[in-house]
Structure 1
């Protein structure tokens, strides 16, 4: 049973996601209400940690969150809306603490940032900051949780993070962060200065497309295995991968002019994706 006090905390988390990630909110609000509210509590945890680094440049806040998470694991609940909502989520669903801990480790990697030496190093980073989020959400998307659904959830998070990196190449460069793997940049003849823009070089486009292919192969894998998720979870999972796939295609449509601007998917196109996702799931159920 959700008390009035807990509902207030859950509403706080829902408002946070509404104000900061309309795409994520549109996708996951279609879950059954209590599952959706647990997703919003998890989102609030991730958002606070992410903003502490990327907006406030306050790694001490993340370290403090790590300490509170240890206390949370021991049964203590910090007296804050997010933590109270998260306690409700842990009490209501079989969530695991490990991915929350790993996500904070990933956030702290951006404090003393180092460019990934290889694609495997980039994948390790993507797992910590985004694949872990897939693991957090998996118990809300699949019952029972299996190794297959965990793998797909992790791959979805990794693919979405790769997409974010591809979209934000120019923005990250201006923040003195290069997430593109160093060995691939060298192999394909891409210099750090190429990321200053405004026009991407042919070499950078080849590298960009190589990483885009890695993301898209994961989106295809998940799309082909949607039936492994609960029926009520298939729409938000499908919407997530369609939204992020569209970001990649939008970058291509802009002729890769993404070093001096941020590519986004307009609301009207998100609406079309929603209609398309519903139609795809309807046809899948019809032919099953």
Structure 2
């Protein structure tokens, strides 16, 4: 049971930190909405902790230690930690799922780039599909087919975010467009990041991301239709709100460099109404055979981890350990460089 004061803190954090999810959550039943807000608050905390810390390896290691304490039933004395511990206890959350999120944050921290669309989907699986799988656990839905469709929705949402933020990311030195796409367009990462421009080739890449997302949004609907009836409107709402962001990018001619797509309250209200209609229709319409489509190869491991019959997995994956080792090496190299710079300043003083 999440303490009321902890839940209030988590709700306020999401109200300001994730407006799209906050809007969609209004349609979730309270038994799902409350733990979902706590889950998103912990994920928001994790993302901010890494993003705002200069020592990236130390930040991810600290988050791993916080997970250790949460799973040991001794969370830090912080609202998000206490609330997440209550989720772990109440829903038997597989640790492999928040571990996957940590791995994605570690990839971000090391400035990892992605050669192919498949590699970008693997990143999206960690930072978004892992959350989708955790949402299924909160809804007591741990059937493999439904989990696969939830992971589809997570990848679709992340690809939409990436398509929306191409310019913003580039100005911060971040690059998520597949490198092979840049190469096909005769660009190098360095030239693109130096002078990002919404030329025809870049607009084509944004369009490709949104087309991939649209395919996955369509696949995800078969999974939404098998969720508990009371939870369907909220998940349909998330699907339509995020797809609506993609529609705004499309309406701007796929220019997400000189402008950033935004949605307003009126649009969100319309998508909430559409979500209610779709949820009602799912009661009488026949189920889609797409529910049985195979999971994306990049999300299959999440489906296995979250499934009802999944064996208990180790809490420290080899790939997360490798990412942390690379981050630590980067931190050491950066500190060594700073020490050399300080030495030069002293010599010339």
Instruction: Return the match for 1:103 from 101, 104, 115.
Output: 101
Question: Which residue does the alignment assign to 1:252?
Answer: 250
Q: Deviations over 1:102-141 (max 9, x none)?
A: 2112111112212211112111111111111111111123
Q: Deviations over 1:26-85 (max 9, x none)?
A: 212322223211111111111011112334555333321111212322332222111111
Question: Which residue does the alignment assign to 1:89?
Answer: 87
Q: Alpha-carbon deviation of 1:10? A: 1.2
RMSD between aligned alpha carbons?
2.0
Question: Which residue does the alignment assign to 2:4?
Answer: 7
How many residues align? The count is 284
C-alpha distance in structure 2 between counterparts of 1:145 and 1:277, whole Å: 23
C-alpha distance in structure 1 between counterparts of 2:196 and 2:203, whole Å: 13
What is the correspondence of 1:215-230 to structure 2 with a 5 Å cutoff?
A: 215-230=213-228
C-alpha contact 2:164 2:249 (8 A) present in aligned 1: yes
Question: Which residue does the alignment assign to 1:208?
Answer: 206
> SS at 2:225's partner residue?
helix
C-alpha distance in structure 1 between counterparts of 2:148 and 2:285, whole Å: 26
What is the correspondence of 1:156-235 to structure 2 with a 5 Å cutoff?
A: 156-192=153-189, 193-194=191-192, 200-235=198-233
- TM-score, structure 2 as length reference: 0.76
Structure 1 or 2, whichever has the larger Rg, is 2
Q: Deviations over 1:146-174 (max 9, x none)?
A: 11121111111111111110000001111
C-alpha distance in structure 2 between counterparts of 1:248 and 1:189, whole Å: 26
Question: Which residue does the alignment assign to 1:76?
Answer: 74
Long gaps (5+) in structure 2: 287-349
Q: Alpha-carbon deviation of 1:232? A: 1.3
Long gaps (5+) in structure 1: none
Q: Deviations over 1:4-40 (max 9, x none)?
A: xx11111111111112122201212322223211111
C-alpha contact 2:149 2:221 (8 A) present in aligned 1: no
C-alpha contact 1:17 1:40 (8 A) present in aligned 2: yes
C-alpha distance in structure 2 between counterparts of 1:77 and 1:225, whole Å: 33
